[in-house]
């Protein structure tokens, strides 16, 4: 093969070879255009490119049909083999991009949902049906990691302002729970504490966006002396602070089952009237689903729907 012929063949695209195959099989350029869903002039341009590359007429008119030349007869099978190989390559790429229940899906989850979501996704029947999920706490670089493919998706309290990601609102936390020591003086004075009852006691929260700022705003609006607020770094320190420092804390309803298992603590839903007071001071946390474009996702649509269903349950006031 001469270098000039090789150069001309390399300039042919796959579609042009498909035109050759369709003309050979149908004996009509118009039929090839219909089969390939393109215009007749485009087929004519492809045929001209083929004739130039092979330096042969390839097809000649006889009895209102296009008949192949001897060279076209010899080219037909190699062209078919090449197109078939391309189709197989396309199938392999498509199969490699299909979501699989065998892979582990990596999710960054905002505070308030991580533990409760792990309990539900960790159940054996859930793993058998939907695959394995690995959960991480949402951090400042989580959106970047989703964009780069290090994480598959995320659940954030604040929509990321950067990166080309798809954001879907999951809604607000519906309800607030109060946690403190089971023998805390608060329970001695009332079984249904109001914000006014709670305000004299110090607050503790993990060093992230929490309900405490809402309590501070409420106290400012009501001219109540501000409680002392302590920030801790993890759940174990938070637990120790509640037991030893006489503090109180707000948690989401989805965390309630987890906290109830901690000895020495009492957890109770805040009355709706008190939640409404907090909402007037500041809106409750709102969660956002953070994802890549559909063509870059490793999880299937059924897996996504199942996750959204679990999240909807967790955001309800009395999620179990």
CA 63 to chain centroid, in Å, comes to: 60
Kindly tell me the sign of the dihedral angle through the C-alpha atoms of 63, 65, 71, 74: negative
Taking the C-alpha atoms of residue 311 and residue 242, their distance in angstroms, rounded to an integer, is 28
The pLDDT assigned to 142 comes to 92
* pLDDT at residue number 318: 44
pLDDT score of 102: 65
Residue 283: exposure state from Cβ atoms within 10 A (0-12, 13-18, ≥19):
exposed
Per-position pLDDT tens, the chain of length 320: 556 666 666 777 888 899 999 999 999 988 988 888 888 899 999 999 989 888 899 999 888 899 999 999 999 999 888 888 887 776 666 555 555 556 788 999 987 788 778 887 877 677 777 778 899 998 888 998 998 889 999 998 878 876 678 998 887 776 788 899 999 999 988 888 888 888 888 888 876 555 555 566 666 777 767 668 888 888 889 999 999 998 998 887 777 777 877 899 999 988 888 888 777 766 666 788 999 988 888 888 888 888 888 888 777 644 44
Let me know how long the chain is. 320
Helices 272-281 and 212-221: angle between axes, nearest 10 degrees: 80
Q: For the whole model, what pTM was predicted? A: 0.55
| pLDDT confidence of residue 106 | 93
- Cα 120 to Cα 73, 101, 135, 219: the distances in Å are 63, 17, 12, 37
Output the pLDDT for position 291: 93
Closest listed residue to residue 267, CA positions, set 282, 279, 252, 285: 252
pLDDT tens digit sequence for 186-243: 998 888 888 888 888 888 887 655 555 556 666 677 776 766 888 888 888 999 999 9
Residue 151 confidence (pLDDT):
92
């Amino acid at each position: 093969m001469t270098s000039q012929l090789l150069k001309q063949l390399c300039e042919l695209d796959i579609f042009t070879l498909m035109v050759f195959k369709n003309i050979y099989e149908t004996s009509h350029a118009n039929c090839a255009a219909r089969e390939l869903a393109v215009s007749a002039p485009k087929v004519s341009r492809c045929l001209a490119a083929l004739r130039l590359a092979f330096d042969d007429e390839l097809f000649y008119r006889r009895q209102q049909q296009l008949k192949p030349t001897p060279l076209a007869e010899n080219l037909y099978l190699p062209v078919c083999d090449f197109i078939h190989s391309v189709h197989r390559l396309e199938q392999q790429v498509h199969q490699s991009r299909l979501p699989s229940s065998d892979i582990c899906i990596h999710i960054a989850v905002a505070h308030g949902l991580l533990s409760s979501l792990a309990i539900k996704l960790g159940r054996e029947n859930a793993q058998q049906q939907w695959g394995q999920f690995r959960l991480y706490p949402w951090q400042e670089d989580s959106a970047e990691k989703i964009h780069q493919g290090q994480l598959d998706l995320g659940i954030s309290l604040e929509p990321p302002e950067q990166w080309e990601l798809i954001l879907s609102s999951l809604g607000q936390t519906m309800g607030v729970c109060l946690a403190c020591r089971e023998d805390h003086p608060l329970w001695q004075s009332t079984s249904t504490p109001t914000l006014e009852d709670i305000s004299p006691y110090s607050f503790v929260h993990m060093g992230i966006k929490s309900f405490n700022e809402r309590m501070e705003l409420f106290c400012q609006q009501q001219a109540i002396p501000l409680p002392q607020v302590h920030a801790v770094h993890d759940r174990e320190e938070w637990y120790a602070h509640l037991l030893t420092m006489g503090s109180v804390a707000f948690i989401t309803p989805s965390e309630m089952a987890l906290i109830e298992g901690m000895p020495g603590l009492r957890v109770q839903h805040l009355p709706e009237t008190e939640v409404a007071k907090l909402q007037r001071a500041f809106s409750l946390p709102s969660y956002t689903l953070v994802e890549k474009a559909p063509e870059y996702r490793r999880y299937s649509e059924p897996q996504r729907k199942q996750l959204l269903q679990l999240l909807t349950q967790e955001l309800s006031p009395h999620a179990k």
